[in-house]
Structure 1
């Protein structure tokens, strides 16, 4: 019930690429980098308005996609930079999901939901054994999360 819904900025960006010509893709994505790396929502909105002036006549659907989704993209800006970097760097999560799919894909059917849960649990344990690297600036991220959500985080800190 306390979950905050927010779409992934990077997936939103990739989604709007389908409306952009290949010859403008690099420039377009570079311009959007200023939007999703802005320090606050107000600055991001200003950068987006500048981007709109530049690209809307050529790629109206790409811009409209951001307009239509701004309210579920903007919660991103309330987080500090260290936390936001984790949010738009999804390689760890995507890798985890890829490994889960790899295991379940080879099975045509599971006898029960419980057997699927058990298999995913065991695979997750094996995957987590390989997680040996500490996330860069994790101490800063953890401190920021403890400030923002003390009642949620502190019970997991030993």
Structure 2
């Protein structure tokens, strides 16, 4: 019985998102997140381009993920009551396998740091392997590496929410 429970737990974990701070120094860091999503890459891509449906409201300036959008000009932006936030700019999007954005997320916007966020989608049968990587560098008083673990946690949460939203229809 214990072996069966262990095997079931191992199978459950295998489909979960995997996260890691892969590199860090006072000058920068890299975060890599991976998940296998039970959906074709076209469905994953469509969801990825609609962050209002899966991003956590806790990690927005407005307090409501419904204010997040990716506009046709390539901005990952957020509507605010008296303005807007430009989180990142799309620098490459092929509509199927790769989305690359440039900019600083959240509190990194108030520093001299900048980042490069990429989502790589790889079809594997009826599933899609998603690899998210975020490379950050630049000046932050005390060193940018102090942001590595919190950023890893936040991006891991967002990828898990994307996976859950696609597979169940609800990100929570």
TM-score (ref. length: structure 1): 0.26
Larger radius of gyration: 1
| Structure with the higher helix share, 1 or 2 | 1
Q: Considering fraction of residues, name the structure with more strand.
A: 2
